[in-house]
A and B are shown apart, each in its own frame.
Chain A
Amino acid sequence: MPAVVVYALVVLYPSIAGAGSAFTDWSGVGNAKSFVGLANFKALFQDDQALGALRNTLLLTVAIVVVQNGIGLLLALGVHTQIKSRMLLRLVFFAPVVVSPVMVAFLWKFVYNPAPDAGLNAALGALGLGSLRQDWLGNPSIALWSVAFTVIWQCAGYSMVIFLAGLEGVPAELHESAMVDGAGTVARFRHITWPLLAPAVTINVMLSTVGGLTLFTQIIAMTNGGPGYATDTLSTVLYKQAFVYGKFGYSTAVALVLAIFVAAVSFVQIGYLRSRETTA
């Protein structure tokens, strides 16, 4: 089967080779490498840049999962109603999904222009919120959240569409009979819509978790991991270690840690969210 051959060549073989070289001191040039056991992993857990990146990756992922899906759900609920502009609004909110992340990243660099009279800062000034003006990408304590917000802006429409598909599966009769019984909007959402949305929640949470854990393009394009190491993630660190510092063995060790994270989180989520689906 040709499909298996291509898949093995492009995904399986390199992944196994990658996992293997995580235990070597390979420099990436030629094949000279010797087995160094767990030295790369020891170094990783003593490397402030890598540990900071690990922390950033987890923070980013949590922020993206919670906020993106929260906004996605609110948008879906909004455009699922009878408002006249619902089709147009769906288009507007979904459009960023189809644009390349690298272009979205550059677009937001304009928005985050540090000058007080440009982009977001100018808008804040015009709204009388001048005290909130920031150097959005240059301030180490908020740069990570600025990047997270860009990702959320781009991907909220994705969550929205999956929630919309879920909402379409909620029978209207359930809502009508609950209304007759005197249930308010909030009660109907809690007892009817939310339980029936469980499969959509599963997919959204899983997708945004993997997306957050492996986030790369937006960071490279917006901050390149800076200022300092403030927005480095596991993905940017492993990229820099390999292609900037030539430490391929170490880089693949970082990649293996990332892979283990993704696998572990996926399994736990599948198990937990699936069980919630069946009991809901």
Chain B
Amino acid sequence: MKYRPRTFLLEVVMIVVAIGFLFPVYVLVTLAFKDPQQIANRPLSLPSPPSVGAFGEAWREAGLGSALLNSTLITVVSVLLLIALGSLAAYFLARTATRLSYSLYILFLVGIILPFQLGMIPLYQLVDNLGLLGTYQGMIIFYTGIQLPFTVFLYTGFIRSLPADYTNAALIDGASHLQAFAHVIFPLLRPITGTVLILNAVQIWNDFFTPLLYLGGSGHETVPVRVFAFVNQYTSNYGLVAAGLILAALPILLLFLFLQRYVIRGFASGLKG
């Protein structure tokens, strides 16, 4: 395929589409750099002169520093647990052909289509009874459980496509099942582990509803919960709210830019299998 006039026309069309697509971002960014008077008088024009005062104030008022730490802690530990538990469980499910392992696999698949809303209220009670409301542990257990079906599904499919000889060879050499898994199988799972990591991390980092319910008012709130409270508090101060939103979205966007090749590939391949 060569670059022809038609391709140029398509290029122009796509760029115009992208500019339209970015319009909301333009609105947000220009609001954040304007003082209240500019917002009132010239809502859509470029900020002149741009003011950056809103960013510092938003950072402090929304408590973004501690929220970032909370989000990071919960996301990292949950994802590590998911990788460890999910890959081991999938290894068992993929390599044993008993009735039990088949039923367990089906049980996990059911979890993928079960809307979490169904168990939401009993789960809330359970978390409360266990004294885990408002704690990191409660959130981590929750995310590990809720994301496991999908994680197991991805890992099982991948492990089934690996030849069984690798494990058998290690077992003949005298390794235990766990050793064979840790030294032989797990390294082979790297591509799918990347996908699992990215998909789960984006999901957990961005989740809003569960932390609102379980962490509200605990001081351990994650970024989306803190931003939600912040926006509702300063609802009429557009510039401040816009700056807060930009600051809150920036970490994940920077991470995305940094890892974009893997992220896009992970999304595509993780869901194709």
Contact = CB atoms under 8 A, between A and B. Distances in A.
A14 B22 CA distance: 41
A17 interface: yes
A213 B116 CA distance: 12
Interface residues of B, number: 82
Could you tell me the dominant secondary structure of chain A's interface residues? Answer: helix
A94 interface: yes
Could you tell me the dominant secondary structure of chain B's interface residues? Answer: helix
Interface residues of A, number: 88
A256 B10 CA distance: 47
A103 B111 CA distance: 27
A100 B146 contact: no
Given A92-B21, A100-B249, A111-B23, A252 B118 contact: yes
B85 A21 contact: no
A205 to B, nearest CB: 12
B141 A9 contact: yes
A147 B170 CA distance: 55
B119 A3 contact: no
B243 interface: no
Interface of B: 1-3, 7, 10-11, 13-15, 17-18, 21-25, 27-28, 31, 43-44, 85-86, 88-89, 92, 104, 107-108, 111, 113-123, 125-126, 141-142, 144-146, 148-149, 152, 202, 205-209, 213, 223-224, 227-228, 231, 238, 241-242, 245, 248-249, 252-253, 255-257, 260, 263-264, 267-269, 271-272
Interface of A: 1-4, 6-7, 9-19, 21, 28, 75, 78-79, 81-85, 89-95, 97-103, 106-108, 110-111, 113, 115, 117-120, 122-123, 126, 153, 158, 161-162, 164-166, 199-200, 203, 207, 210, 213-214, 216-217, 220-221, 234-235, 238, 242-243, 248, 251-252, 255-256, 258-259, 262-263, 266
- The 6 lowest CB-CB distance pairs between A and B, nearest first, are A10-B145, A14-B119, A165-B268, A3-B89, A17-B122, A100-B206
